[in-house]
Every structure is written in structure tokens, then in C-alpha cells.
Structure 1
């Protein structure tokens, strides 16, 4: 590209973040492909892996052409395919579904932080790729009846407006709470669904973690997910709404790690940040006053958990630093 505009700081940052996420997904898929028992699942995983590898190679070319060092990310040393299955069938596709949920959000955000046409096009392509994978995962899981859709609802016959601030009541213990609206249910249901999955992921990671502090951290993550599921389930049941449930995607009894502690910690950090972001959106759009209070408490717990994970990664030398801005104070000394 003649007279190419240099990368801005935000563009370099988003490329760096994308490389970290894509190399992690690449390694996770390598293991799940090796362990897949179902042919259709293996096909979804293999096709996704091929596409992700192509993205990683494209990112390497971008870094090199811009004169930037290629990040380390996650390498073959971060995965061991020759170990027993850590999770039952269906977990692989549920894992991939969650990864592309997170990735789609990141791609959309990164597109809005890009200025060069080639990078805007890159994130548009990545968004389309992940949307396609997401559709395949949902279809597969629904065909196997392990993905529960959100509750049915009677279709509205007329438009209604809140006639008073009573619509937002919920904090007063002496007043009746109104039934949840569909927007509120959607975010609560999503939080439960993702944390049920997260609880199983943390259980498996805790079983195979090598470092004692990492194992302890994953156990804390499992308990946090359990607490969120319990708190949010109570809210649904108060409105006679059935919480989500699944029969699949459980951790096995294996105690041999398929992934490095570094990869599992980064994956947990990514999931925590995703949970924090979706929780913040749910807080914003929940109009019943007791709900934001519950969600703010959840956000505080997730934030603390994420910070603790960052400290563990830094202590063990696993926290790869993003590209730094120039230290002008140091340079002028």
C-alpha cells in the first residue's frame, strides 16, 4: 500500500489484543479437535481452526510490515493434545460458542477504534467469520438439546407506558415487586447461562492446574460463578420463570492438564472481562431498582476476581505487556 498511514496507538493495541485472543483460540481448538468423538462437532472445530490460523498468519504479516515485533501470544507449548478428555461431549462446541460471543464483541469494538481502511475491513471480516461460526454452534447444540432458549412469553397486544415511578420499584421490602420485563429477563438469563458454563470450566481448570495459587484461583472462580447463578436464579423464580439448565458439558475426572496454566489464566481473564461488560449493560437497561443493586454487587465481585488473576499472572511471568507509549519524562532526562 503506497503512502500507507502508520498504525495509530489504538490500532496497534487492537491488533495486539486480537493476536492474543486468536492464538489462544487456535490452541484450544487443536485440543478439542483431537478429542472430538462426534464427526459433526469435529468438522465445526476443524473449519473454525483453519480460519483462525489464517487470521493469525495475516496478523503476523501486519505486524512485520509495520515494523512491530510479533507478540508471543500462545504457542504449541501451551497445549498438550495427548492427555485424557477434560470435558464431556458438547463442552467443546459450547466453549467455541462462548469464545465467538466474546470475539464478536471485541471485533465490533475494535472496528470502532480503527481508522485505516484495511483494518476496518479486517474487523468486518472477523465479525462475519465469528457470526458464521456462532450460527453453526447454536444449530449443533439445539439439535442435541443442550442449549435451552430463554423462556417463552405471551406476545403483547398493545403498547404500554409506565404511569408512575412505581414501575421502577423493587428495593422497598414492603412493596410488591412488579414482574420482570423481557429486557431484564434476557440479561439475567444470559448471566445464568454463561456462569453455569463458567462453573464447569473452572471446575475442569481447577482439577488440572499445576501451580497451587492457580488451582486456588480457579476454585474461587467456580464459587463466584455458583454465587451468581444462585442469586440470579432467585430473581427469576420470584417471577415464576424457569432458569436455564443443560445436561451436557460437564468436567470429567481427569487431572492431567491439556493447557498451560498461563493459557487457562488468560482464558479466565477474558471470560471475566466479558462477564463484567455484559453485566454493566444489564445494569444500564434494568429498570426495576433492586436489579442494578444486585448487578453492581456482582460487578464488584467479578472485578476483584479479575484483579486477583492479573496479580497471579504477573507474579508467574505470564502477563505479556501490550505495546507501550513512549515515556517522554524518561526520554527528556
Structure 2
């Protein structure tokens, strides 16, 4: 048996996806670091950059050793650090926090699909880095008064069991009374609003500066989808007499000069869409009120169709790098 087995298809695929994601994050950080006015935010991003960059190199070495072509990913051609600020102070850390949230989910999943020890260690290390900087970003936003906390509720005083199937009742029938949300449902709805607010800020800035008319139109459409999701979920909170989350700061500036290539901005939007679909799936699974599950399923459908439309734009413009395929045996034969 060889000392180190070759890469499995799963390990090749997860490393390839990680390379794409990390090279994108490094390019975005380069711009945000250049434009940062707040010293603490700048130091968080510089430290994160310094910790991520070696893992891109490690993945490249693994590909070279295995005889695999190194992906293009995102390079210096995809960022222009000399452009004006596209977002107000605070958005950089909001964005990094959400990217770290996405990374936590991806790295945990990737560990389950790897068996070679050096690959497992890469994802373990990246998970630890991600958790460290997710917390640093959260504490920074709390300190600056830019982090919306979920609503507080009275603490339960006794254990109760659900005794009637009416607990599952939602607002599908206007003649029936629906119960208020439980705290698990509030958590999922709050999370959906919070991530869509950051996504809306991001995609509004992208729409202002995109160079390709179809891409500009695509980003504008994405902003409208995010607004509709935020509006519907805010109404659910208000129906239960709960204050909907509100985040101050981090808005797009008046700049219309693109700091990133359309390719990078489209990829970033695609990544956010994938995360939204996964988050809505989780929300659906843990929502026992049928009207909430129906809403999140509808959101997933809208986001999936939007992501599919974006994939077509990327393919037509030659921006979608093909993932490593398996052999087409029929052609070889």
C-alpha cells in the first residue's frame, strides 16, 4: 500500500470548490483592506488574509503532486483596489462575517467527504480559522452597534408537550387562528432576514457598478427578490408582535466604479444563493407551523430559479470554470 493514497473524486471536488471560494475571498479582502478606515476592522481582515493565504498554496501543491491542473479561480485581474469605496464603513465586516458563516457550513461538510489525513487536516484547520474570525466579526459589530440581536422572550417555567395537532396550524386558512412562533422558528426567520439584509446591501452595490448590462439587470432583480423576502418575514414578526431586526450602516455609497470583475461578483452572488437555499431548507425542516414552511419553500424556488439564471449568464460569458469531471467511459470505448 502507498504511504499516501491518491485523491478520491470527493476530495478533488471539495478542494477544487475550496480553491475557488478562498481565491475569491482573498481578492475581496485585498480591496476591503485597502479601503478600510477603521483600524480594528482592518486588522481583523489582514489577520484573516494571512491565515487563509497559505491554504490556497497548500491546495495548489496537492494538485501539483497529484498531476491535476491548478484551477484559475480568482486572480489580481478580478480586483481593482484603486476604485472609490463602494460601501460605507461596517459593510466589510458584515460581509466577512457572512462569508465565514458560509465557510463554516462548507468546511464541516467537506470533512465528512474526506478520508486522507492531510485533506481532513486542511478542512479542520480552516474550520477553526473560520470560527475564530466569525466570532471576531460578531464582537466587532456588537461593539460598533451594528449587530441586530434576535428578540428576547420570557424564560420557560415548566416543561410542556404538544397535545393537539392544531399546533401545526398556520395561516393557510384565513378562518383559523394560528399560534405564535416558537423560539426555534424565530431563530430561523431572524437568520433569514439578517442574511438577506446583508445580501441586499451587497447586490445593490454590485448593480451600481457592474460593467455588463445583463449582469447589472440580473443584480437589480436579485435585490428585488431579497426585498420581497425581507418584507414577508418582517410581516410574520409584526403579526406576532415581535420587533423585526434592523441593521444600521454598511450601505452602498454613490460610487458606480467596479472594484471587482463581473465574473467575481457573479460568483459571489451564486455562493450566497447556494447558502440561502441551504438555510431555507433548514428553516423548513425545523418549522412546525405549516405557513412558515410554505413561505420558505417558495423562497427556495425563487432563489433556485434566480441562481439558475445566473449560471446561464456566467456560462455565456465564459466565467464559469468547469468542475473536475469523471471519465466519460462511452467516449473512451
Q: Normalised by the size of structure 1, how large is the TM-score?
A: 0.99
Hey, what does 1:134 align to over in structure 2? 134
Hey, what does 2:71 align to over in structure 1? 71
Q: Distance in 1 between matches of 2:256 and 2:48?
A: 27
Hey, what does 1:175 align to over in structure 2? 176
Q: Distance in 2 between matches of 1:79 and 1:316?
A: 18
Q: Distance in 2 between matches of 1:118 and 1:200?
A: 38
**CA offset digits 1:132-151 (Å, max 9, x no partner):** 00010001000001001100
Q: Distance in 2 between matches of 1:88 and 1:54?
A: 30
Please state whether the residue corresponding to 2:325 is helix, strand or coil: coil
Hey, what does 1:59 align to over in structure 2? 59
Q: Distance in 2 between matches of 1:329 and 1:243?
A: 56
Q: Distance in 2 between matches of 1:80 and 1:51?
A: 22
Please state whether the residue corresponding to 2:21 is helix, strand or coil: helix
**CA offset digits 1:78-104 (Å, max 9, x no partner):** 000000000000000001001100011
Instruction: Say whether the 8 Å CA contact 2:206–2:265 is kept in structure 1.
Output: yes
Instruction: Say whether the 8 Å CA contact 2:55–2:122 is kept in structure 1.
Output: no
Q: Distance in 1 between matches of 2:79 and 2:52?
A: 16
1:67, distance to aligned residue in structure 2 (A): 1.1
**CA offset digits 1:139-172 (Å, max 9, x no partner):** 1000001001100011111111111101101122
Please state whether the residue corresponding to 1:85 is helix, strand or coil: coil
1:239, distance to aligned residue in structure 2 (A): 0.5
Q: Distance in 1 between matches of 2:98 and 2:273?
A: 12
Hey, what does 1:44 align to over in structure 2? 44
Question: What's the RMSD between the two structures over aligned residues?
Answer: 0.9
Structure 1 segments unaligned to the other structure (5+ residues): none
**CA offset digits 1:12-61 (Å, max 9, x no partner):** 00000000000000000000000000000100010011111111111111
Hey, what does 1:123 align to over in structure 2? 123
Q: Normalised by the size of structure 2, how large is the TM-score?
A: 0.99
Please give the residue correspondences for 1:235-314 in structure 2 after superposition, counting only pairs within 5 Å.
Answer: 235-314=236-315
Moved runs in structure 1, 4+ residues, more than 6 A?
A: none
Structure 2 segments unaligned to the other structure (5+ residues): none
**CA offset digits 1:110-148 (Å, max 9, x no partner):** 001111111111111110000000010001000001001
Q: Distance in 2 between matches of 1:140 and 1:105?
A: 22
1:2, distance to aligned residue in structure 2 (A): 5.4
Q: Distance in 2 between matches of 1:2 and 1:140?
A: 47
Q: Distance in 1 between matches of 2:119 and 2:48?
A: 21
Please state whether the residue corresponding to 1:290 is helix, strand or coil: helix
1:3, distance to aligned residue in structure 2 (A): 2.6
Q: Distance in 1 between matches of 2:78 and 2:32?
A: 14
Please state whether the residue corresponding to 1:104 is helix, strand or coil: helix
Q: Distance in 1 between matches of 2:11 and 2:82?
A: 38
Hey, what does 1:164 align to over in structure 2? 164
Hey, what does 1:234 align to over in structure 2? 235
Hey, what does 1:94 align to over in structure 2? 94
Q: Distance in 2 between matches of 1:65 and 1:226?
A: 47
Q: Distance in 2 between matches of 1:2 and 1:309?
A: 43
Aligned residues: 332
